[in-house]
Amino acid sequence: MSKPNDVIIIGSGSHGVVIADIILCGNKFKLLGFSERDDVFKSLPCKKRQVTKSLWFPIYADSELFQKKCSDNQILFVLGIGQELMKVRARIAAQLKKNGYSLCVITHPSSIIASSATLGEGVVVMAGAAINPFVKLGNHVVVNTGATIDHDCVVGDNSFIQPGVHLAGHVYVGKNTVIGIGSAVKEKIKIGNNSIVGGGAFVNRDVPDNTVYAGVPARKLRNNLLEECL
């Protein structure tokens, strides 16, 4: 058996802890800890993060991490920053890539991923998710707990498929988009970039870029006010 790859999670919040738990469920990666911006790190009352009842992992300040511990570029990274900070996620991913660091794919052992599916760098697939044949997930996509993505779907970079979402076949989801918890999307629907589908929605028509849709069936509520940030 090959030696597990060392991984650091960027962000020590709840989303990061879920990713940490996935890493601990497998034997492919060795979790070294978490990282935070220097200003956030200084404000933390505790420089460790609890992941299980008995396991705590260190939190590193970015300046210390990249000047010392990661100077040889051998450590892998994964984004542990949630969907509320889309712009930050995209910026950090681009900076890591520019500096020669690699982002790893993290998949829970209970997830089902078709052999013909394509997963970009930094993808996270959580417990109980199913990704069917010829699905294409862009970089840094998060497929949350119990979500299903059916055949031939495409999900763009940095998008979130929340828990219990169901995408039927041939659905297209753009970049920096959030499909809310428990939503269902009809086959061959296109959902644009920088958009949000509210929790519990049923989407039976295309969703344009930079918009917020919700309801059964889904209707436009407003423009996405975050569009200028993405």
95, with CB counted inside 10 A (0-12, 13-18, 19+), is exposed
Amino acid at residue number 65? L
Amino acid at residue number 51? V
159, with CB counted inside 10 A (0-12, 13-18, 19+), is buried
Tell me how many helices (H) and strands (E) the chain has: 4, 25
| Active site residue ranges | 151
Q: Is-contact 67 40, C-beta < 8 A?
A: no
